[in-house]
Structure formats: C-alpha cells, structure tokens
Structure 1
Amino acid sequence: MRAPRILLLEAAGPESGAIARTAAASGYQVHAATDPATHGAYGAGLRRLLSGCLLADLSRPERALKDIVGYARRIGADAVLTANEYLTPLLAQACAELGLPGNDPDRATAARDKAAMSEAFALHGVAAPRTRVLASEDDLRLLRAAGELSLPYVIKPADGAGSAGVTVVNDPASAAGAWHAAARSPRGMYGLPPDPRVLVQDYVEGTEYSIESITRHGTTTHLCATRKTVTPGAHRVEVGHCLPAALPPATERAVHQEVERAIAAVGIRNGASHTEVIVDRDRRCSVIEIGARLGAGHIGILLGHALGIDPWTALLDTALDRPAHLAPARRAYASVRFLTSPRTGRLVAVTGLPKEGPGVPAVHLRTAVGQTVGPAQTNRRRLGHFIVTGPDPAAVERQAEQILAQITVVVDSDRPPHRAGSPAVPGPGPEREATRAP
C-alpha cells in the first residue's frame, strides 16, 4: 500500500510548515503549490521535505485552479489542504473538482471576504454585530449625517487579515482617517483581486475569545476556547492567547451554538475553523468573524502543550477522510505573549528574554536588531513571543506576566514619531529610553 500523497496549497508560514513536517514524519509524500515569488523564500529544510512543487500564478484564480487540479491528478493526490486563509476559496474549488473532502465551493468566499461573511451571517441568523458594507467614503458620510452610527464603531477592510486597517472609532473626527486606513490597507497575498469595499460594524464590548474547531462531513468538534489579550485604543492587536479558556457551561453552549451557525453559514464542511467571538457582561455571544483554517499566532502549538492534541495530524486526517483524534490527552494550560514596540524607530535591543526550559518551551524574537519597528497596529508588527505552560491556569498567567515585566524593548527614535494612530503600548521617558514590553 503506497503512502498518502498530500498537496499543500502554500508550504511557507508557521502553520503550513508544521503540516508539511508532520506529513513527512508520517511517511507521506508531500507536494506544494505556491506562487513563483513565494517559492523563492522556501528554505532548504522545507525544500527537502517536498517531493514536488507546482509554481502557479495565484493572482489568476481560474488559471491557478486548472493548474492545481491538473497537478493533483498527475501526482495522484489523496488530500489537498491549506493553512493559508487567502487560499481557502481556491482550496474548496479544487477539492470539489477532485472529489476530495473540502468545503462548499459556492460559499467558501464568505469565510474569507468579510462583506460576503456579513451577508451569510445575516442570512443564517448568526448573532453578529450589525454591519454595513460601503463602497465609498460618501456612503460613510451619509450614514453619519443620518445619525445612523453610534460611537464607538469599527471600520475595517472587507478582505483584510491580521487586524490590518481595522480601527475602533471613538471620535467623529477620526472617522475619515479610519476610512482611509481601511481603504488603503494592504490587500491579500499573491496579487489576488482585492475587494475594495469597507465595513462599518457596531462595536461590541466584552471579552474576546476564539473557538478552535474541526468539522468532518458537517459534524463539528470544538477543541477549545482561546482567550485573547488585545491592545487598547483605536487599533486592537492581539498580544496574548491563553487556552483552554473556561466558560460557564451555559455560556459555552450558547457560544458553540453561534459558532456552529457561523460554520454552516460559510459552508465549512471538512476542515478547521477559527471563529472569533465576543462575550459581553450579560454572557451574550457575538460572532465577529470566521476563517476556514486553524487559528494562527501559535494556537496550534498551544493546543499540543495544553491538551495534547496534535492539530496538524488532525488536519491531515480530516483531509484524508479519516476520523481525527481530537479528545484531550492531558489537562494543562498554555499561554503565549507577543512583544511589541512602544514607538517607531530602530530596534536597538530586547533584553530580559527568558531561556527556554521547563514551563517555557518557546522563546523567539522574529525581528532583527537594526530593523525599523513601530507600535503594533497589525499582527505583523509583533516583534516576537514566548510561551508558558503548566498545570494551573492562574500560575501560568502569573508567570507570563512576570516574564513580560522583565523584558525591555530598546528603540532609538531618531526619526519623527509615527503618526498613524495611538501607540499600542505607551512608553515612558525620552525617545531613546529603554521601555518595558506590554
């Protein structure tokens, strides 16, 4: 019996790389499909894992679909999957043509494009913030003039990701700037055709969570809830994930019910989903958005440390139409904290980082000394991270905060202060003073 053959739509990135390594370690034959420009960034270790690689023009989805389906048939692919959010609609179409487990190709765009998502949520009765999809800044002016917007509200791009271009508007004077930030934010990857529309969404006050789930043949298993730590102010960037988050049983049931409605609304039938929700003080759940992928930000790694769940194997099993092992193998707790810059300037040093060891399994600085950094207004501007694990949630959170308090980010701000929004974490003292991580 031959080993399964896996086609991974994009092998670059932490989650994609983890899937590729897991598949290779399982004896599977691993292939990748990517854009020629991205392929140049594949490191030697990743290239050694791959039995083949298709270079496709991903900026032309129809052409790319034909190339991917043709390549999958030539290699006899047993599964096609992705961890890349931008490629999930293409994945659904490819799986449908190949007769492999996948999501509904007619609704897959709704798990990627937030304008289509808001329409799907409304159609399927998902509890979500009221959302207006606007084509121009004039539409925003008309809403404001008619008194139909109540402060605060959120302005975001229809096809953004990683908090790029998202602003919480607390002052009418900042609405125009927020609109332009959304309209001009970087769109997508691979030169995919952008959706230029902008969303205006009611702001929901409460605690932010994400629900990590895997669906097979339309039946969903929720792995856990992840509690989010986000920056205050106009730009809400995630600077911490903690799991599993404990919710009261009735609240958990209500959250799962809304998440399952959202999963059905966007046509997720086979694969992972990452659903962001807010639970307010009355324990009501609002679904903010959903992705047809596993959560990023090292959530997959946290699942392994806290619950003993191997999400990469689970994703491969689901794509291969096998039952996945999703029951927790242990009951522990894991938390990641991300480092951010207090101001714009040149990164001089990051001091006080812990050493990896028992209870601190990962410490990583992704930004090199000498690079220009700035306040975290998107997830891409985070400087690095560390992970803390242990059996007791309170002790893990306490240790994470203690470590964070010992880390100092030194930035030399010879250039003028960054003006695009408030700093994610205000820093004391003169421009060149060493400042604490958030």
Structure 2
Amino acid sequence: MTAPGVLLLDASGPESVALARAAAVRGHAVHAAATPAGSTFCSAEFIGLLAGRVLTDFARPSRAVQEITAYARRHGVGAVLTVNEYLTELAALVCAELALPGNDRRLAHAARDKAAMHRALTAAGVRVPYTRLARDDGELREALGDARVGLPCVIKPACGAGSAGVSVVSGPADAIAAAGRARAAGGMGGGGDQHLLVQAYAAGAEYSIESITQDGAITHLAVTEKRVTSGSHRVETGHSLPAHLPPEIEKAVYREADAAIRAVGIRHGPSHTEVMVGPDGQCTVIEIAARLAAGHIGFLIQHALGIDVFPALLDVALGRRATLYPTAHGHATVRFITSPYAGRLASVTGLPRVGPGVPFVRWRAAIGGLVHAPRANAHRLGSFGVTGPDPVEAEERADALLRRVRIRIDPAGEGGSDQDSPASTSDIAS
C-alpha cells in the first residue's frame, strides 16, 4: 500500500527540511506549497526531497485553499503541516477541507491575529496583560492614556511574528516611532493589517512551553528558558531547555498553557506558548502560536530529551499515535550571534565547530552583506547549539564559545564601527 503524501506549507528553514527528511525516510512523498517568489528560497536538500510543489498566493487565502486542496487530492496527500506562523490558519482551513487532522478552523484565526488571540484568551480566563487595540493614531493616544496600560508598555503589530516591530515604550515621546515600526512589520508579514496592540508591560522571567496536542490531549514536552536583549527591542538571543521551575510554578505555567491551547482551537499539532513568570510567581501568557517553536527549539528537545519531534508531528498530522516521552535527561542550549552595529559584515572568526557537545553550527549572513543591530529575530547572523548532561556546565561552555566569536563590521552610518567586536555579548540580558 502506498504511503500517503505529506504537504508542507512553506518550504524554507531547517525545521521544514527536518520535517521533509523525516517524511521521506518513512516512505512518504513530500510536497510543498509556496509562493512563486518564496519557492526560490528552498534549500538544495529540500528541493532534492520534493516529489512536487504547488505555487499559490498565500495572501489570497480562499484561492490558496482551493489550489492547495485540489493539488493535495490529485497527489494523495494525507497530512498537511506548516512551521510558518503566518500560515497556521491556512493550514487549519486546508486540513478541514480535506478532512485531515488539524486545528479548529473557526478558532485558528486567534492563533495568528493577536487582537483576536487576546479576546479568546481573556474569554477563556487566561491570565494575560491588559491590552488595547489601536487602529489609528487617535486610538493609540487613548491607549497610552489608559492607566491600566501604564508605562512602560509594549507596542506591537497585531499580525507580526519573530519579535519584528515589537517595542517596549518608556514614554509617550517614544510611541510614535514605535507605532511606525509596528505598522511596517504588520504590513509586511501580516497580510497588510497595520493595527497595533498596546499592552501593559509584564515584568519577570521569560519562558516558553513547547507542547503537542493530539485529539485534544495535550502533552507538554519542555519549558524553555529565554535569553532576551534589554532596551526597547526585546530580541531572543538564546534558548535553554528543559528549564526546571519550582513545582507550584510549573503547575501554574502548564495550567495557563492548557487553557491557552484550548482557547485558540489547537486540537492536532504543536504549540508554542510564551509566558512571563513574575517576581510573585504568577504566570502571564504573552502569546501562543499553533506551530513548532522556531529558533532551533525542536532540535534542542531532540538533543536534550531524546524526543524526535519531527516524526512525532508527522504522526499527529497523519492521525497516528505519536511517541512523545523522553528517552534522555540532558540539557541543550542555543546561542544566536548578532551584530552590535549596523553596517556591512567584513569578517567573522572564532565560530565553533560541530563536534562532541556542539551538535550544530549555522551561519546565514554573507560577507559584504548588510547586518543590523538586533531588532527582530531575522537579524540573527548565525547560531550554535551546546549539549551536555549538566545544565551549568553546558551553559558556561556556550557562553565561553560565544565570547570567542569576533565579527568585523564596516560602518553604514548608523553608529557603525570598523573594529572587531564580540558578537552579541553586550546585548544579552541573562
């Protein structure tokens, strides 16, 4: 009997390659849906794994659903997945049309649009920051004047991702520039939606909960501890897992994550729930996404806990029982390399090499290319992972390896420097 085909919405990034590889190893024909422009960004390995692809316009969801489902029926597709946050609602619609395991099509919008998300989470009783929607400058002024928002506050696009356009605003004078950045980010990635969210600032330590839901049953794989830049742009510079929280706090974190997952209709597939744990131990849900966590977290889970999430996601999408139990009890962490200055990348030295305890090293910046001080996750230049049985030793080794990385930036008029600089260490807030 021929194995059903697997269709991936979007075809870029290491997670897509890992899913395609896992499907091919199991004998599934791998297909991709992509935009004509986006299809050029597929890696050579991904292209080599493809049995076929359908080109469509993701910005026109009704038409995209028709074209993707027609292609899926012609090619015997039995599973549809995506690791692209912008396409999680489309994935739910396609799965519903094909009668495949997927998320609730009526609620999937709430896992993408952050205004709808806030309404759904609030209605479900999830603890979230107080939030105002600002559709124009007048509503922005009203939100900033709302004592329940207060200062500092957070301004972000309603339909953004990857920390793009997110600013921590300390006063009204900063709000106009922050709103401009948020509108630009929302317009680029969110289908043209330039509405803003103005949120009360939630202080504390930042974590995410990585979970997989199957037939409505939720399994939490790990809690990830985040390293985040300080200042007005809070960009993730490192992830570490599993984070070990006090039992009562872990229980509260999982309780809020469970409620958030159900509130946005996640029934079959991964979720990534971002939370803040305050000094008082209370857990506040910041956002939830109906996708596998980015930033190599899926790979960290595999290296630290022995859970291969990529075959597991295939099983969930195919309606098969997934194996989600840890077979190892180690520690894994990733460091992201960023530039402290805007300019052109002249050189990089000191990158770690793959070897024992360093399972991957990835670099995506081109010598001579423009680089930026970190204002979004897309500004990362590269990354490397470190694993080990002892969390303290693994973290110390990762920090030591990061200190050895030196990048040289030619100035580009934004406070640039032509001197060698340690990559990102001055930007990390532990």
**TM-score, length-normalised on structure 2?**
0.96
Of 240, 249, 254, the residue aligned with 1:256 is 254
- CA offsets 1:129-171 (integer angstroms, 9 cap, x no match): 1111111121122333465541110000000111111000113
Contact 2:159 2:186 in 1 (8 A): no
SS at structure 2 position matched to 1:59: coil
Cα displacement (A) at 1:175: 1.4
Aligned residues: 424
Cα displacement (A) at 1:86: 1.0
Rounded Cα–Cα distance in structure 1 between residues aligned with 2:330 and 2:375: 32
Contact 1:159 1:188 in 2 (8 A): no
Cα displacement (A) at 1:188: 4.9
Greater mean deviation of Cα atoms: 347-356 or 97-106: 347-356
Match of 1:241 in 2: 239
Match of 1:175 in 2: 175
Whichever residue aligns with residue 13 of structure 2, its letter is G
Match of 2:302 in 1: 304
Whichever residue aligns with residue 432 of structure 1, its letter is D
Percent identity over the alignment is 52
Match of 1:59 in 2: 59
Whichever residue aligns with residue 114 of structure 1, its letter is K
Rounded Cα–Cα distance in structure 2 between residues aligned with 1:254 and 1:143: 30
Of 187, 193, 196, the residue aligned with 1:195 is 193
Q: How is 1:14-413 mapped onto 2 (pairs within 5 angstroms)? A: 14-145=14-145, 147=147, 149-185=149-185, 187-189=187-189, 193-413=191-411
Match of 2:414 in 1: 417
Contact 2:134 2:143 in 1 (8 A): no
Match of 2:422 in 1: 436
- CA offsets 1:384-407 (integer angstroms, 9 cap, x no match): 111110000000011111111222
Contact 2:272 2:288 in 1 (8 A): yes
Rounded Cα–Cα distance in structure 2 between residues aligned with 1:370 and 1:274: 35
Cα displacement (A) at 1:56: 1.4
Assess, with a 3 A threshold, how the Cα gap between structure 1 residues 249 and 146 changes in structure 2: closer, same or farther: closer
Rounded Cα–Cα distance in structure 2 between residues aligned with 1:355 and 1:67: 43
Cα displacement (A) at 1:187: 3.3
Contact 1:279 1:286 in 2 (8 A): yes
- CA offsets 1:293-345 (integer angstroms, 9 cap, x no match): 00000001111110011110010000011111110010100000001111111
Rounded Cα–Cα distance in structure 1 between residues aligned with 2:180 and 2:43: 36
Match of 2:428 in 1: none
**TM-score, length-normalised on structure 1?**
0.94
Assess, with a 3 A threshold, how the Cα gap between structure 1 residues 360 and 126 changes in structure 2: closer, same or farther: same
Rounded Cα–Cα distance in structure 1 between residues aligned with 2:198 and 2:252: 26
Whichever residue aligns with residue 262 of structure 2, its letter is A
SS at structure 1 position matched to 2:72: helix
Contact 1:344 1:373 in 2 (8 A): yes
SS at structure 1 position matched to 2:93: helix
Cα displacement (A) at 1:51: 1.2
Rounded Cα–Cα distance in structure 2 between residues aligned with 1:59 and 1:181: 21
- CA offsets 1:325-381 (integer angstroms, 9 cap, x no match): 110010100000001111111111122222221011212221011111110000000
Rounded Cα–Cα distance in structure 2 between residues aligned with 1:94 and 1:412: 47
Rounded Cα–Cα distance in structure 2 between residues aligned with 1:118 and 1:313: 32
Assess, with a 3 A threshold, how the Cα gap between structure 1 residues 128 and 321 changes in structure 2: closer, same or farther: same
Rounded Cα–Cα distance in structure 2 between residues aligned with 1:260 and 1:108: 16
Cα displacement (A) at 1:45: 2.7
SS at structure 2 position matched to 1:40: helix
Cα displacement (A) at 1:186: 5.2
SS at structure 2 position matched to 1:187: helix
- CA offsets 1:28-69 (integer angstroms, 9 cap, x no match): 111111111112233443222111111112221101111111
Contact 2:208 2:226 in 1 (8 A): yes
Assess, with a 3 A threshold, how the Cα gap between structure 1 residues 145 and 240 changes in structure 2: closer, same or farther: closer
- CA offsets 1:232-256 (integer angstroms, 9 cap, x no match): 0000000000001101111111100
Assess, with a 3 A threshold, how the Cα gap between structure 1 residues 145 and 77 changes in structure 2: closer, same or farther: closer
Contact 1:86 1:188 in 2 (8 A): no
Contact 2:216 2:266 in 1 (8 A): yes
- CA offsets 1:69-106 (integer angstroms, 9 cap, x no match): 11111122111111111111111111111111000001
SS at structure 2 position matched to 1:7: strand
Rounded Cα–Cα distance in structure 1 between residues aligned with 2:46 and 2:350: 31
What's the RMSD between the two structures over aligned residues? 1.4
Whichever residue aligns with residue 228 of structure 2, its letter is V
**Which runs of at least 4 in structure 1 moved beyond 4 Å after TM superposition?**
145-148
SS at structure 1 position matched to 2:185: coil
Match of 1:422 in 2: none
Rounded Cα–Cα distance in structure 1 between residues aligned with 2:139 and 2:306: 49
Rounded Cα–Cα distance in structure 2 between residues aligned with 1:160 and 1:78: 30
Rounded Cα–Cα distance in structure 1 between residues aligned with 2:116 and 2:357: 42
Rounded Cα–Cα distance in structure 2 between residues aligned with 1:431 and 1:30: 46
Whichever residue aligns with residue 242 of structure 2, its letter is P
Rounded Cα–Cα distance in structure 2 between residues aligned with 1:206 and 1:305: 28
Match of 1:425 in 2: none
Cα displacement (A) at 1:23: 0.4
SS at structure 2 position matched to 1:185: helix
Rounded Cα–Cα distance in structure 1 between residues aligned with 2:230 and 2:395: 19
